[in-house]
């Protein structure tokens, strides 16, 4: 089916054959017996051709062209596995990180992690990737090696009672994703963030969660999905780290002004939320108290008043504040009346101010010129 063995200059014909079998979707099966013995001696092809520096480089280039999906480690970065010493911590010196280490994994290699010799970094088991430890927290994202340190007194929005109830009802590990600065710390809750807040356990990227498969009995994510650049990827990662039957509690924005820019990417309808979490079994979905329509109106009105006062004048802002909601209803329903400042002042705001509470955006774009053919 795969055309037999091909000649691969400098070696690896068998590796090439196995790769082509995998590309055809042919399954392999483990046989618990020795079918053949393989001997490498000083005059073998491996010793005299394959590992010769120039040949090895050419072999890598050729193999990458044949099978670009195969991860190859170049001669300059051959693997240096860490030693077998697990560097166990005595009970009196154990830290929070010691308790979490068994459930962590490298987000790049997906391998388990261990301390380095100085206990200042975590290292993947192949020795290829090192992750710094800052303020006792592992920084498990390439973009967050020097995370921002938030003041100890910083408190983010309180966890809603529904989320607290999920936490209290869960006996095993709970992941509080994008937790911010929590007021209370639960021993069985792992708090992950992009910065170091007062109770942060792990600094990492929600799109590549640095945890083993099926680790958590519950995951809570409060008011964060609008800030993920690929929500479906984050949802898939949550699915991966949740145990079968594990619970998920998410709150995310629909009609909210722009906030925490430039890291506000999406506002989501219930139908978008259903699409993001289609792999899960939905128990129920509803509008929570913090997202009721009065919050939408009040937040947008507050941003509007601030923008009018900043960009135009106190008079314009006061005119908006004194106008009735009913007048805006009339202007919306009858476009012929939209020639008064209460309506037109908003069109005079700066683009930066308009973006915060705009109804939408207009894009003009050009496809880049095609790359030259090789």
C-alpha dist (Å) from residue 221 to 43, 218, 272, 285, 349: 60, 10, 16, 15, 34
Contact by Cβ (8 Å): 253, 226: yes
> Under CATH, what is the fold of the domain 80-286?
Rossmann fold (3.40.50)
Residue 82 has a pLDDT of: 59
Closest C-alpha among 75, 104, 108, 79 to residue 190: 104
Greatest alpha-carbon span in the chain: 92
Q: 54 by DSSP, 3-state: which? A: helix
Edge to edge, what strands does the sheet with 121-124 contain?
Answer: 113-115, 121-124, 130-134, 137-140, 202-204, 189-193, 174-177, 216-222, 242-251
Residue 92 has a pLDDT of: 77
Helix %, strand %, coil % of the chain (to 5): 35, 15, 50
Helix (H) or strand (E) holding 77: none
Residue 76 has a pLDDT of: 52
Q: Report domain extents, the chain.
A: 13-77, 80-286, 294-357
Per-residue tens of pLDDT for the chain, all 374 residues: 888 888 888 888 888 999 999 888 888 888 999 998 888 788 887 778 777 777 887 888 888 888 888 877 655 555 455 555 555 667 777 899 999 999 999 999 888 999 988 899 999 887 788 999 999 999 999 888 889 999 999 998 789 999 999 999 999 999 999 999 999 999 999 999 999 999 999 999 999 999 999 999 999 999 999 999 999 999 999 999 999 999 999 999 999 999 999 999 999 999 999 999 999 999 999 999 889 999 999 999 999 999 999 999 999 999 999 999 999 999 999 999 999 999 999 999 999 999 999 999 888 888 888 777 66
Residues whose CB falls within 8 Å of the CB of residue 133, separated by 6 or more in sequence, listed in order: 97, 119, 120, 121, 122, 139
Residue 80 has a pLDDT of: 55
Helix (H) or strand (E) holding 311: helix 293-311
The 8-class DSSP code of residue 220 comes to: E
The b-or-e profile of 293-314 (16+ CB within 10 A means b, else e) is: eebeeeeeeebbeebbbebbee
In this prediction the pTM is 0.75
């Amino acid at each position: 089916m795969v055309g037999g063995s091909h000649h691969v200059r400098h070696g690896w014909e068998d590796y090439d054959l196995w790769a082509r079998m995998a590309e055809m979707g042919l399954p392999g099966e483990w046989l618990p017996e020795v079918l053949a013995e393989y001997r490498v001696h000083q005059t073998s092809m491996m010793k005299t051709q394959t590992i010769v520096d120039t040949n090895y480089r050419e072999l890598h280039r050729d193999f990458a062209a044949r099978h670009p999906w195969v991860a190859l480690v170049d001669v300059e970065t051959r693997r240096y596995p860490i030693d077998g010493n697990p560097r166990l911590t005595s009970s009196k010196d154990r830290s929070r990180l010691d308790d979490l280490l068994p459930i962590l994994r490298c987000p790049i290699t997906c391998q388990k992690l261990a301390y380095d010799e100085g206990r200042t970094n975590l290292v993947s088991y192949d020795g290829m990737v090192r992750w710094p430890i800052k303020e006792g927290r592992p920084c498990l994202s390439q973009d967050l090696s020097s995370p921002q340190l938030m003041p100890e007194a910083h408190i983010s929005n309180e966890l809603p009672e529904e989320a607290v109830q999920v936490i209290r009802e869960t006996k095993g590990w709970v992941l509080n994703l994008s937790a911010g600065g929590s007021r209370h710390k639960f021993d069985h809750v792992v708090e992950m963030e992009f910065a170091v807040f007062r109770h942060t356990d792990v600094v990492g990227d929600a799109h590549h969660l640095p945890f083993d498969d099926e680790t958590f009995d519950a995951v809570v994510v409060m008011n964060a999905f609008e800030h993920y650049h690929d929500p479906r990827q984050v949802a898939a990662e949550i699915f991966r780290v949740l145990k079968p039957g594990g619970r998920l509690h998410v709150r995310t924005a629909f009609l909210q002004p722009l906030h925490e820019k430039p890291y506000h990417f999406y506002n989501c309808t219930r139908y978008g939320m259903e699409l993001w979490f289609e792999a899960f079994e939905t128990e129920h979905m509803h509008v929570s108290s913090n997202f009721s329509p009065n919050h939408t109106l009040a937040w947008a009105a507050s941003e509007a008043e601030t923008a009018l006062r900043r960009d135009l004048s106190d008079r314009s802002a006061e005119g908006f504040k004194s106008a009735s909601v009913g007048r805006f209803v009339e202007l919306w329903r009858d476009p012929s009346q939209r020639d008064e400042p209460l309506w037109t002042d908003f069109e005079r705001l700066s683009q930066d101010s308009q973006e915060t509470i705009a109804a939408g955006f207009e894009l003009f774009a050009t496809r880049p010129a095609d790359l030259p053919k090789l």
